[in-house]
Amino acid sequence: MKKIMVTGGAGFIGSNFVHYVVKYHPEVHVTVLDKLTYAGNKGNLAGLPEDRVQLVVGDIADAELVERLVKDTDAVVHYAAESHNDNSLKDPFPFVQTNIIGTYTLIEACRKHDVRYHHVSTDEVYGDLPLREDLPGHGEGPGEKFTAETPYNPSSPYSATKAGSDLLVRAWVRSFGLKATISNCSNNYGSYQHIEKFIPRQITNILSNIRPKLYGEGKNVRDWIHTNDHSSAVWTILTKGRIGETYLIGADGEENNKEVLELILELMGQPKEAYDHVADRAGHDLRYAIDSTKLREELGWTPEFTNFKAGLADTIQWYTENKAWWLAEKEAVEANYAKNNQ
């Protein structure tokens, strides 16, 4: 694999993957296809060698452009998406357009030119799980975490469009022999994450003297993974995964939102109670938890960045030292949340 195309490579997780490939796989050239929406930032690719990484600004739903790029590549790794649940509740259309039509456009081009395709998706396609305390095996019994066999049951317009895109890929594998793999990962954190998302929103609130905002009671559980570990997992699946298979990516990082917020407050030297409870998200998923046994046992992947407190401290340091990356957007992001009392 000498040439790969990474869609959404100027976003949070896609750009991390591009940095990962440049660092660890010097034989590979990367073409990034990214529309540079509000969530994309050229600066996320700053410092990468021009002979290794080329940015093409364009839309994954532009069939002509996509075909031109795909026919000249060995593999496509598809990260581009509208990615924020709260936005999907306000205006679902861009989610349908990018996540479904965009994916369709990519897999059609890959099928036509017989190009290897990896589809990056989310654990949210499986819906949500009960809290551990309400389960007989306390979250460790059979069926008490998501596996590749869990039925799809998405809750939000975002997760429904991601589920739809996954199902398109599965159908293209079965009906057309598309050489595809799918990964469904849990919640990522790390540097370069857009400040609309939970962890960077709270860090940048504190840095802006705004009180952090917790939805509802904060009992909702997310299974946190450092984005560096997501990148190594995707590379492993791209290079060693079995065609047609779905692999779940997770690092056993379950925490409830209140615990995460209290840890951020502690690491930033703030009182434990210095936050506001705000309006809950409509249809808010209760708990996500990934069983990544298949990926670990079949492909030998293991996460490296499993000390959540240390990872959070590094992330806080990054947002503190890189105010120029987020400051200009902060006011508008908060004004948008305020419209919904969030």
Active-site positions read: 123-124, 158
CA 197 and chain centroid, separation? 11
Instruction: State the minimum distance, in angstroms, from the CB of residue 131 to ligand TDX.
Output: 13
Interface residue with ligand TDX, options 44, 105, 122, 204 (CB under 6 A): 122
Nearest of 294, 179, 188, 297 to residue 247 by alpha carbon: 294
Residue 124 or 166 with smaller CB distance to ligand TDX: 124
Of the candidate residues 19, 40, 163, 212, the single one contacting ligand NAD (CB under 6 A): 40
Quick one: 96 or 135, whose CB is closer to ligand NAD? 96
Among 35, 116, 119, 197, binds ligand TDX (CB under 6 A): 197
Give the range of 37-45, 65-73, 256-264, 332-340 binding ligand NAD by CB under 6 A. Answer: 37-45
DSSP 8-class letter at 146:
B
286/336 Cα distance (integer angstroms): 24
Residue 280: both structure tokens together = 């809950």
Compute the distance between CA of residue 184 and CA of residue 186 in angstroms, rounded to an integer: 7
Residue 11 and residue 193 in contact, taking contact as beta carbons nearer than 8 Å: no
CA dist list (Å): 25 to 43, 225, 241: 21, 22, 17
Residue whose beta carbon is closest to ligand NAD: 11
CA angle 284, 287, 293 (to 5 degrees): 140
305 binds ligand TDX (CB under 6 A): no
C-beta closer to ligand NAD: residue 274 or 327? 327
Closest distance of CB 249 from ligand NAD, Å: 8
Which partner from the list ligand NAD, ligand TDX, none does 61 bind, CB cut-off 5 to 8 Å by kind? ligand NAD
Residues of span 83-102 touching ligand NAD by CB under 6 A: 83, 98, 102
| Residue 15 token pair | 């750009």
Site residues (CB under 6 A) for ligand TDX, limited to 265-284: 281
Contact between 247 and 237 under an 8 Å Cβ cutoff? The reply is yes
Residue length of the chain: 342
The position carrying tokens 């050489």 is 179
CB of 43 to ligand TDX, least distance (A): 20
75 touches ligand NAD (CB under 6 A): no
Residue 120 lies near ligand NAD (rule: CB under 6 A): yes
Backbone angles phi, psi at 255, to 5 degrees: -145, 145
Distance of CA 341 to the CA centre of its chain: 25
Strands 53-57 and 29-34: parallel
Q: Which does 195 bind (CB under 5 to 8 A by kind): ligand NAD, ligand TDX, none?
A: none
Q: How far apart are CA 35 and CA 48, in angstroms?
A: 19
Can you read off the two tokens belonging to residue 337? 């949340």
Binding-site member from 15, 31, 85, 315 for ligand TDX (CB under 6 A) = 85
Long-range contacts of 134-142 (CB under 8 A, 24+ apart): 139/254, 139/289
Q: How far is the CB of 288 from ligand NAD (least distance, A)?
A: 10
Please say whether the beta carbons of 215 and 177 come within 8 A: no
Stretch that binds ligand TDX, among 174-182, 212-220, 262-270, 301-309 (CB under 6 A): 212-220
Of residues 137 through 196, those in contact with ligand NAD by CB under 6 A are: 162, 185, 187-188, 194
Q: Does 214 bind ligand TDX (CB under 6 A)?
A: yes
The residues binding ligand NAD (CB under 6 A) are 7-8, 10-14, 33-37, 39-40, 59-61, 79-83, 98, 102, 120, 122, 162, 185, 187-188, 194
